[in-house]
Amino acid sequence: MLKLGVPSKGRLMEKTFDWFGERGLAMGRGGSEREYAGLVEHDDVELVMLSAGEIPRELAAGRIHLGVTGSDLVRDTLAGWDDKVEVLAPMGFGHADLVLAVPRFWVDVDTLEDLDAAAAAFRRRHGFRLRIATKYHRLVREYLRAHGVADYQLVDSQGATEGTVRNETAEAIADITSTGETLRANHLKILTDGPIHASQATLFRARNAEWDGPSRDRLSRLLSDIGRHARSELLETKLSS
């Protein structure tokens, strides 16, 4: 059987079920709301219910053949993510931007270049580096390195990240936003250079899972079953290549 990892709760679970359902693959959670057992109507597929945050590691380890999770989580969790997983289909939901944001009253800081200058000034004045709170360590480091910003330190924040500025544990934040409400409510503004990453829920294939003959056959059957209903251009391209 092909093991397909899907989010077991949270904002991605229902939409994942809907996405497969719309493509002729009925799936859902079995048993009670608290039971993490998945049911799927396909002879080649076994559902594995996992937290969205754990799916990248399970894919990289090859313990699941396929997995649905946010593209942000795959990129941040897996060094060299592209070598470990292949994108089969962006799924068109779970859209959120990973952005850098600073206090709204920093009137001189709107771009990364401004942040770079502010960070240098901050260090001179305070004797320590400007703190950026985030849980997206890899993506933020790579982005700032690529843009030549070095005078900062990351502070780990696993939730309520926008509150760290008010709580004076950080001067800036890097977090996911969709409506922008949380940033606004916490008097933060997004740097104008564009998002670090525009994330969406994505169907991935684990390159390191066991892909023997029968597994490959199962995958092509599954993709062609899904593909018959597919609107995703990328999936259609994969199917025809």
Ligand X SMILES: Nc1ncnc2c1ncn2[C@@H]1O[C@H](COP(=O)(O)OP(=O)(O)OP(=O)(O)O)[C@@H](O)[C@H]1O
Phi, psi of 204 (to 5 degrees): -110, 150
Q: Which of residues 133-172 bind ligand X (CB under 6 A)?
A: none
**Residue 157 or residue 227: which is nearer to ligand X going by CB?**
157
Whether 58 and 64 have beta carbons less than 8 Å apart is answered as yes
d(CA 123, CA 151): 8
**Residue 9 contact, options ligand PRP, ligand X, none, Cβ 5-8 Å cut-off depending on partner type:** ligand X
At residue 152, what is the residue type?
Y
Is there binding between residue 241 and ligand PRP (CB under 6 A)? no
Among 21, 24, 28, 53, binds ligand X (CB under 6 A): 53
- Quick one: DSSP state of residue 201? E
The helix (run of H) or strand (run of E) holding residue 178 is none
**Residue 72 contact, options ligand X, ligand PRP, none, Cβ 5-8 Å cut-off depending on partner type:** ligand X
Is there binding between residue 240 and ligand PRP (CB under 6 A)? no
Phi, psi of 200 (to 5 degrees): -155, 160
Whether 65 and 209 have beta carbons less than 8 Å apart is answered as yes
Is there binding between residue 67 and ligand X (CB under 6 A)? no
* Minimum separation from the CB atom of position 226 to ligand X (A): 21
Among 2, 89, 96, 173, binds ligand X (CB under 6 A): 96
Q: Which of residues 184-223 bind ligand X (CB under 6 A)?
A: 199
- Only segment of 53-61, 116-124, 153-161, 192-200 that touches ligand PRP (CB under 6 A): 153-161
Q: Which residue in the shown chain puts its C-beta closest to ligand X?
A: 70
Provide the token pair at 1: 């059987």
Provide the token pair at 239: 């199917």
Provide the token pair at 152: 């900062």
Helix, strand, coil percentages (3-state) for the chain, rounded to 5, are 35, 30, 35
* Minimum separation from the CB atom of position 96 to ligand X (A): 4
**Residue 52 contact, options ligand PRP, ligand X, none, Cβ 5-8 Å cut-off depending on partner type:** ligand X
Is there binding between residue 5 and ligand X (CB under 6 A)? no
Among 177, 199, 202, 232, binds ligand PRP (CB under 6 A): 177
Among 77, 94, 102, 139, binds ligand X (CB under 6 A): 94
Is there binding between residue 12 and ligand X (CB under 6 A)? yes
Find the DSSP H helices in 36-109.
Answer: 55-61, 71-77, 81-84
Q: Where do we find the tokens 């597929």?
A: 45
d(CA 142, CA 148): 10
State the residues that interact with ligand PRP by CB under 6 A: 159-162, 175-182
Q: Report the interface residues with ligand X, using CB under 6 A.
A: 9-12, 51-53, 70, 72-73, 94, 96, 176, 178, 199
